[in-house]
Copies of this chain bind each other. A is one copy, B any other.
Amino acid sequence: MTPLLTSITNHQVRLAARPVGLPTAADWQHTEEPVAEPAEGGVLVKVLALSLDPAMRGWMNEGKSYIPPVAIGEVMRAGGIGLVVASKNPAFPVGAHVTGGPGVQEYWSVAADQIKRSGMARIDLRLGTVTQWLNVLGMPGMTGYFGLMDVGQPQAGETVVVSGAAGAVGQTVGQIAKLKGCRVVGIAGGPAKCEWVVKELGFDACIDYKAGPSAVKDGLKQHCPQGVDIYFDNVGGEILDTVLTRINKKARIVICGAISQYNNTTAVQGPKNYLSLLVNRARMEGIVVFDYADRYPQAIAEMAGYLKDGRMKSKEDVVKGGVAVFPGALGKLFSGENFGKLVLEVAAE
C-alpha cells in the first residue's frame, strides 16, 4: 500500500563537480526533497532499482557527446525500474512497473508534458525480473543485441571476440553470438569471471587479461585459430590494439565503449594499430543504442524467449543500500570489481 505521500522524503544524489579522473565523494551531493502528489496527467514512480553503467562517466564530463552532460547540481542521470505509486495518468496506473530514466533518487515525478520525453514505458515482469529488465532486457541487452546484429552482422561460423565479457553488454553479445552459430571468445578480468563465462554462458573460451602482459595476445592466438571476424569492444586501450593485430579481412569492430580510458587524466589512447583496418579492408564503427529505440520491442521479445527457454542466462551484481551508497557502487565498475550487470537496489517493492 502506498503510504501518505506527504510523509515521504525523496533522497537524491546530484552531481556536485566534474570529476578529474576517477569520481570521488566530493563530486556528489546528497539532497532530499518532499514528494508531491502528481498533477493532472502526471505520474509518481517509486524507484526500485537503478542501472549503473560505464556511460555514466561520460555524462559527467563537459562537452559535446551523443547526449548533453549532466549539469552541476542536477540529479545524476540513471536508467532504472520503478513502481507507479501515484498517478493521474491512465496509461500508467498505480501498481504498474515502468522503465525509464529516473536518475539517482528514490522517487521519480514526471509531469504530463514530460512523460513522452522521459521515455517512461511500462514493462511486463512476466518476461523477466526487475534486474533482468536492467540487464538483457534493458539498455545493456539492447546495446549488445543491436551492436552485434546490426553493426557486427555475424555469420554462422565466424569468430566473435568480446571484451568486458562478464559485464552487462558483453554477456548479451556473447550469448547472442553463440545462438547465431559463431565461435565466441570472451575477454574478462580474473579466473572467476572467465570460468563463469565459459561454463555458465557457454562461450567457447575466455581470456583473462589480468593473467600477464601477453595474456590477450597469446589467448587470441590460441583461441582464435581462424582469426577474428567481429570484435565487440567495451574497453579500448591495449586490448583493442592487440585484437587489431588478429582481425580477418572484412572484419567488423564494434565500438561500444572504452572503459579503460574513461577516467584518463591524459588524452585517450588511440588505437595505434588502426592501419590494420586498411590492410584487412576492415571496419570500425560506433553504436549508440538510442538509435534503435523503434526496434526494442522485437529485440526484447526475442531475448525474453531465450530467457524463458533457458538458452540465455543473465547475471546481475546487485548492490544494496539505496541511493546513499551510489558513489561507492559506481566505483565498482571502474575497478572491474562488478561481476555481471551492476545494479543498485533502491527499494524493495
Enumerate chain A interface residues (CB-CB to B < 8 A): 64-66, 236, 241, 255-258, 261, 267-288, 291
How far, in whole Å, are A276 and B281 apart by their CA atoms in the complex? Answer: 20
Given contacts A282-B286, A288-B281, A272 and B269 within 8 Å (CB-CB): yes
- Asked if B285 and A282 sit within 8 Å, CB to CB, the answer is yes
Task: Give which listed residue, B65, B258, B274, B282, contacts A270 with CB less than 8 A.
Answer: B274
CB distance from A97 to the nearest CB of B (A): 30
Shortest Cβ distance from residue A276 to the other chain B in the assembled complex, whole angstroms? 8
A287 to B236: give the CA distance in the assembly, Å: 23
Counting every copy of the chain, the complex holds 2
Chain B contacts of A276 at CB under 8 A?
A: 286
Q: Does A281 contact B285, Cβ atoms closer than 8 Å?
A: yes
Give the distance in Å from the alpha carbon of A101 to the alpha carbon of B256 in the complex. Answer: 42
List the B side residues contacting A288 at CB < 8 Å: 278-279, 281
Q: How far is the CB of A259 from chain B (nearest CB, A)?
A: 11
5 intermolecular pairs with C-beta atoms under 8 Å apart: A270-B274, A278-B286, A278-B288, A279-B288, A283-B284
B291 touches A286 (CB 8 A): no
User: What chain B residues lie within 8 Å of A286 (beta carbons)?
Assistant: 275-283
| Chain A contact residues, majority secondary structure | loop
B281 near A283 (CB under 8 angstroms)?
no
CA A283 to CA B267, docked complex, whole Å: 21
Distance to closest chain B CB from A283 (angstroms): 4
Q: How far is the CB of A268 from chain B (nearest CB, A)?
A: 5
Of all chain B residues, the one with the shortest Cβ separation from A272 is: B270
Once the chains are docked, how many angstroms separate the CA of A270 from the CA of B237?
Answer: 11
Chain B residues lying within 8 Å of A241, measured Cβ to Cβ, are 270
Determine the chain B residues whose CB is within 8 A of the CB of A274 once the complex forms: 255, 268, 270-271, 274, 284
Q: Residue of B at shortest CB range from A282? A: B286
Q: Least Cβ distance of A166 to chain B in Å? A: 21
Asked if residues A256 and B285 are in contact (CB atoms below 8 Å), the reply is no
Residue of B nearest to A241 (CB): B270
- A283 cross-chain contacts in B, Cβ below 8 A: 283-286
A133 to B278, CA, bound (A): 24
Cβ–Cβ < 8 Å partners of A65 in chain B: 279
Identify 14 new A-B residue pairs, CB closer than 8 A, beyond the known A268-B274, A281-B288. Answer: A64-B279, A66-B279, A66-B281, A236-B275, A256-B278, A258-B278, A268-B275, A269-B270, A274-B284, A275-B286, A278-B286, A281-B287, A283-B283, A284-B285
Chain B residues whose CB sits within 8 angstroms of the CB of A255 once the complex forms: 274-275, 277-278
